[in-house]
């Protein structure tokens, strides 16, 4: 059964006026391209193929909205971190993201996906600063941790927590492949969306 049995694709926005209605609560997922964002969304919603896992990422600059239940959404933000992307595309990305973060009242928290082999980069830190400046919550998923040995996993988690020590940002190890950290990530998301206790799960049909 899916964690969010009612989850379904709602709409894509390429332009600021195309955002889904701004009511209820939503959690956004952001990260560098290829950081494992789509895989994390699929793992957390337990819906393979909900978000597309790509080998040639970065073609689209869309904000994708998924409905988790009534007035509850998951938002897949366009990835960043491409060296070869034309300046015009980067400018468009910035415009769309700035608009989203500036206007979005229903945004409660950001799941920032960071490849555990790279650790937090300058763009990730900038993203966190944007969020914190707007009074939102943020949680870092150190993705693909199945690729690291125990010692390196512990080190990257410690370094990330140290970098975030002055803020309320939290972090954890995560693997979409082994499902390590899945429960913890879902718990954070459910808390932000107020989906704990009498969960929306109970209102959906069994799957
Ligand atoms: N080993 C491993 N590979 C992963 C994991 N998550 C994603 N990947 C791989 O990383 C690549 C990029 O994943 P994707 O989810 O499309 O990243 P996105 O561009 O950030 O959405 C794909 O080849 C995935 O199979 C993981 O937990 N473990
Ligand atoms: Mg993706």
Does the C-beta of 72 come closer than 6 Å to ligand 1? no
| pLDDT, position 51 | 85
| pLDDT, position 202 | 42
Distance CA 13, CA 103 (A): 14
| pLDDT, position 24 | 96
Reduce the DSSP state of residue 85 to 3 states and report it. coil
Residues in the chain: 207
Residue 196 clears pLDDT 70, i.e. is over it: no
Residue ID of nearest Cα to ligand 1 atom 28: 144
Distance CA 198, CA 204 (A): 12
Distance CA 17, CA 204 (A): 31
Report which ligand 1 atom has the smallest distance to the Cα of 52.
Answer: 16
For residue 181, which phi and psi values (nearest 5 degrees)? Answer: 85, 0
Q: Who wins on pLDDT, 207 or 137? A: 137
Does the C-beta of 180 come closer than 6 Å to ligand 1? no
Which tokens is 80 given?
A: 């960043």
What separation in Å is there between the alpha carbon of 189 and the centre of ligand 2? 19
Report which ligand 1 atom has the smallest distance to the Cα of 32.
Answer: 20
Average pLDDT over residues 4-29: 94
Residue 171 clears pLDDT 80, i.e. is over it: yes
> What's the Rg (C-alpha) of the chain?
16
pLDDT, one tens digit per residue, over 83-131 is 777 888 888 888 999 999 999 999 999 999 999 999 999 999 999 999 9
Residue ID of nearest Cα to ligand 1 atom 13: 36
| pLDDT, position 61 | 82
Cβ neighbour number for residue 5 with a 10 Å cutoff: 19
pLDDT band at 198 (very low <50, low <70, confident <90, very high): very low
Which ligand is closest in space to the CA of residue 40?
1
Report which ligand 1 atom has the smallest distance to the Cα of 177.
Answer: 27
What separation in Å is there between the alpha carbon of 159 and the centre of ligand 1? 22
Contact 70, 24 (CB under 8 A): yes
Distance CA 37, CA 77 (A): 9
| pLDDT, position 4 | 87
* Angle subtended by helix axes 37-45 and 182-193, to nearest 10: 80
| pLDDT, position 54 | 57
Which ligand is closest in space to the CA of residue 180?
1
| pLDDT, position 49 | 85
| pLDDT, position 170 | 97
């Amino acid at each position: 059964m899916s964690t969010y049995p009612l989850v379904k694709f709602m709409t894509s926005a390429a332009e600021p006026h195309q955002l889904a209605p701004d009511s209820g609560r939503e959690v956004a997922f952001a990260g560098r391209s290829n950081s494992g964002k789509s895989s994390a969304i699929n793992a957390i919603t337990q819906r393979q193929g909900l978000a597309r896992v790509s080998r040639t990422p970065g073609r689209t600059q869309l904000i994708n909205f998924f409905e988790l239940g009534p007035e509850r959404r998951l938002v897949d933000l366009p990835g960043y971190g491409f060296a070869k992307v034309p300046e015009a595309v980067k400018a468009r990305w910035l415009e769309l993201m700035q608009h989203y973060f500036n206007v979005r009242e229903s945004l409660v928290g950001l799941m920032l996906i960071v490849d555990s082999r790279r650790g937090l980069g300058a763009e990730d830190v900038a993203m966190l600063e944007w969020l914190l400046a707007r009074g939102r919550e943020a949680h870092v998923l150190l993705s693909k941790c199945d690729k690291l040995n125990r010692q390196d996993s512990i080190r990257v988690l410690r370094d990330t927590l140290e970098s975030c020590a002055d803020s309320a940002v939290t972090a954890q190890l995560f693997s979409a492949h082994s499902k390590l950290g899945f429960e913890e990530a879902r718990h954070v998301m459910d808390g932000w969306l107020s989906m704990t206790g009498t969960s929306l799960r109970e209102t959906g049909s069994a799957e």
